[in-house]
Structure 1
Amino acid sequence: MAQTDPTPNRNNYDVVIVGGAIMGSSVAWFLASNPDFQGRVLVVERDPGYGSCSTAHTNSCMRQQFSAPINVKISQFAADYVKRFREELGDERVPGIHTHFFGYMYLAGDDTFAGHLRRTVSMQAQSGAGTVLLTPDEIAARFPFYRLDDILLGAFGTRDEGYFDGGTMFDWWRRKARERGVEFTANEVVAVERQGDRVTAVQLASGERIACGWVVNAAGPRAARVAAMAGLALPVEPRKRYTWVFEAERPLGQDLPLTIDPGGVHVRSDGGYYMAGATPDHDPAVEPDDFAADHGLWESKVWPALANRIPAFEAIRVVNEWVGHYAYNTLDQNAVLGPDDRVGNFLYANGFSGHGLQQSPAVGRGIAEWIATGGWQTLDLSPLGIGRIRRGERLDEAAII
């Protein structure tokens, strides 16, 4: 891919996208490929190597086991989209996206969460998802490696859940968007100019003023800062999330579903290894460039929970670990999408709270449709609009990992 120039070629664009990681690149591609849009697009990315973005630290998973129906529909589109990726991009050079759909397994250790699983699985079934409820005996028959004496119920995704190669999707969206005329610049938006109910321009760190018709906030954990530049409040903040890759002295002999344990950790197959993740017990907002690790978390929380649930994991060895950030919506852990209700040409693609990669195909398509036509077309994303934030009306997503 060509080197990204820090100086834009023009001083005005129809659309400026702030942030070029998975969400910004999705919007860029879907705009470039939308026949109803003929405008010029600039993507401004402060880290063109993408080393510190949430996309680079993702576990690249996909599921339909959400508690909000809109999220089920969004992820169903993603599952279909990755299967048709070469066809969607219309280019024989494009590879197919590798998937490993081993399913998700939510385990309930008390009556309250068991009731939650019954309700959500019923909703998911009505939406066409392949989730099934399993008793402990049924879980043991399929997956004999679990210890289940404290488990009341499980919810297992039988199709289109597990790993997908989001990196290939990200790379080709950027490449194809460039080929269709989208410009990417290695720079940073430091100010957003606003006149009344419209944004009119952005200021870059290098000094340029770029006039624009639309601004798309795709700034990930920095989204609230970009919104504040336009005089807008957005309850999104960076939260640390931890990942470990490990090998087991006694491998399980079959795929391990992405298992969400009552002990507060999750774990799944990862090729010949396993991948575990956890939320720290103390979970404050952090600075976007703070990736310092809590090296005691593995010993104090994660390994004990893994060994308790899967006795074969008493003897394991960590081979890799990292810290990433969720762009965490503090109101309800759901995305904020679409136009601002006070500044109509400022668009949000923010606050995904850990499920942004799998939601990026539907979100990119939706934001591009809004810019091109003035409304949601294929899928109505209005339940995730900023209006609920302003009204304090929560649309809770309970299935946050």
Structure 2
Amino acid sequence: IYFCLCGRCRINSVLSLQDHLGVLNEEPVDLQFNHSGYLFLANEKVAHIMEENYNTQRLAGAKVSLLSPTQVKEMFPWINTEGVALASYGLENEGWFDPWTLLNAFKRKAISMGVTQFCGEVTGFKTLTNIMTTVDDEKVGVQRIKSVKVQMPNSLQYQLVDCAVVVNAAGAFSGKLAEMLGIGLGPKDSFSGIPVPVEPRKRYVYVVHCPDGPGLDTPFLIDYSGVYFRREGLGGNYITGVSPEEVEEPDTSDLEVDHQFFQDKVWPKLANRVPAFEKLKVSSAWAGFYDYNTFDQNGIIGMHPLINNMYFATGFSGHGLQHSPAVGRAVAELILDGNFKTLDLSNFGFKRIVEEEPMLERNIV
């Protein structure tokens, strides 16, 4: 199960949460849901993309509106609309919540239904291999996992877990896990040389305090510069951040927070959009990993063509919490029924990677 760093994902199913994740004789799940719309700002360069996205959302039944800079200023006087050509604002069923609580609610419900949880590190696999011939007459080895070696904490021994199906939901490290099976390690021009294009990318989230900042009507604001912020509680605190440029990706060998990044990349853009934020103080910060799909920043869902019993649910690049309920159901359908039933998510399979046809999303936060 994946979850984003700040709990900023849109959700519209909070009211049915207890029906799905409630456990008999235990306290109800409280996600601390804060109902508030998302406000995306676009400049002249990307305004046409916002209009296209708006039309798609409306066709799907989403309650969103397009606003002019004047309308934005009337609704939220504290926003500097300089450079804004168009805005998109969610009118209902949007907000944020505690991602850690949702993660634990998933786990608690699964355990109540008979799932056994073990915590350990996968160190290897035992497999059987069959040699197959592709349409290009390439000989490839198709593997079937028979068991997984799991190193248990504080132990020199490993557990050998026999299995019929493996789901690779190792997040930022799912690509490395696939390499244990030789995936991506073959010749670059061969089928076996195509890696699982997922790697860890470190992202920072900062909590700032600004007593004179926007009030309770504050939306989740996403600026066209990439900087975002939302209110955190009722005491003048806000969560903010921005994804770095590709050439400035931070080192992933640790989870240390770069506070200079806030000073140089976040604060100037934040204060430009909301002048009140010229006077703020960083009260805390943290870092975490995205399971970043370097191919097209979209999820990879389904079976790997060279491992006939490993299913993948990875590469969501920060959208994992938003997608996790649907993806969990989809993978279960693949395992039990052999195909998708509820939603056809076949476009998210490995075929697009093999055929080098990325499925790019626009307006990614």
TM class by smaller structure: 0.7 to 0.9
Cα deviation, 1:156-214, whole Å, max 9, x if unaligned, reads 12222220233222112212222322121121111123323322221122322222111
Counterpart Cα distance in 2 of 1:302 and 1:280: 10
Q: CA deviation at 1:286?
A: 4.3
Q: How does 1:120-159 map to 2 (within 5 A)?
A: 120-159=53-92
Letter in 2 for 1:87: D
| Contact persistence 1:337–1:381 (CA under 8 A) | yes
Q: Give the structure 2 partner of residue 239 of structure 1.
A: 201
Point out the structure with max Rg over C-alpha: 2
Q: Which one of 7, 10, 21 corresponds to residue 89 of structure 1?
A: 21
Q: Does 1:201 align with 2:147?
A: yes
Cα deviation, 1:312-364, whole Å, max 9, x if unaligned, reads 11111111111111111011110001112332311011001011011111111
Q: How does 1:144-183 map to 2 (within 5 A)?
A: 144-183=77-116
Counterpart Cα distance in 2 of 1:363 and 1:144: 39
SS in 2 for 1:79: coil
Q: Give the structure 1 partner of residue 164 of structure 2.
A: 213
| Contact persistence 2:257–2:285 (CA under 8 A) | no
Cα deviation, 1:360-383, whole Å, max 9, x if unaligned, reads 111111112222222211111111
SS in 2 for 1:349: strand
Counterpart Cα distance in 2 of 1:123 and 1:368: 28
| Contact persistence 2:67–2:89 (CA under 8 A) | yes
Higher relative contact order, structure no. (Cα contacts within 8 Å, ≥ 6 residues apart): 1
Structure 2 unmatched ranges of 5 or more: 130-141, 152-156, 184-194
Q: Normalising to structure 1: TM-score of the pair?
A: 0.78
SS in 2 for 1:121: helix
Q: Which one of 214, 221, 238 corresponds to residue 274 of structure 1?
A: 238
Q: Give the structure 1 partner of residue 133 of structure 2.
A: none
Q: Does 1:118 align with 2:51?
A: yes
Counterpart Cα distance in 2 of 1:339 and 1:96: 34
Would the alpha carbon gap of residues 285 and 398 (structure 1) be closer, same or farther in structure 2, given more than 3 Å must change?
farther
Counterpart Cα distance in 1 of 2:271 and 2:22: 46
Letter in 1 for 2:178: A
Letter in 1 for 2:201: R
Cα deviation, 1:243-265, whole Å, max 9, x if unaligned, reads 11111131323332221213331
Counterpart Cα distance in 2 of 1:352 and 1:399: 15
Q: CA deviation at 1:285?
A: 7.1
Q: Give the structure 1 partner of residue 188 of structure 2.
A: none
Cα deviation, 1:46-102, whole Å, max 9, x if unaligned, reads xxxxxxxxx4x7201223xxxxxxxxxxxxxx522x321111135353334332131
| Contact persistence 2:23–2:112 (CA under 8 A) | no
Counterpart Cα distance in 1 of 2:75 and 2:147: 57
Q: Does 1:189 align with 2:122?
A: yes
Structure 1 unmatched ranges of 5 or more: 1-21, 24-54, 64-77
Counterpart Cα distance in 2 of 1:252 and 1:293: 26
Q: Give the structure 1 partner of residue 154 of structure 2.
A: none
Counterpart Cα distance in 1 of 2:305 and 2:293: 18
Q: CA deviation at 1:293?
A: 2.3
Counterpart Cα distance in 2 of 1:91 and 1:249: 40
Letter in 2 for 1:350: T
Q: Does 1:226 align with 2:177?
A: yes
Counterpart Cα distance in 1 of 2:354 and 2:255: 31
SS in 2 for 1:61: coil
Letter in 1 for 2:111: R
| Contact persistence 1:194–1:200 (CA under 8 A) | yes
Q: How does 1:292-311 map to 2 (within 5 A)?
A: 292-311=256-275
Counterpart Cα distance in 1 of 2:93 and 2:145: 40
Q: Does 1:387 align with 2:321?
A: no
Moved more, 209-218 or 250-259: 250-259
Counterpart Cα distance in 2 of 1:168 and 1:284: 29
| Contact persistence 1:338–1:347 (CA under 8 A) | yes
Counterpart Cα distance in 1 of 2:35 and 2:9: 8
Q: Give the structure 1 partner of residue 224 of structure 2.
A: 262
Q: Give the structure 1 partner of residue 9 of structure 2.
A: 62
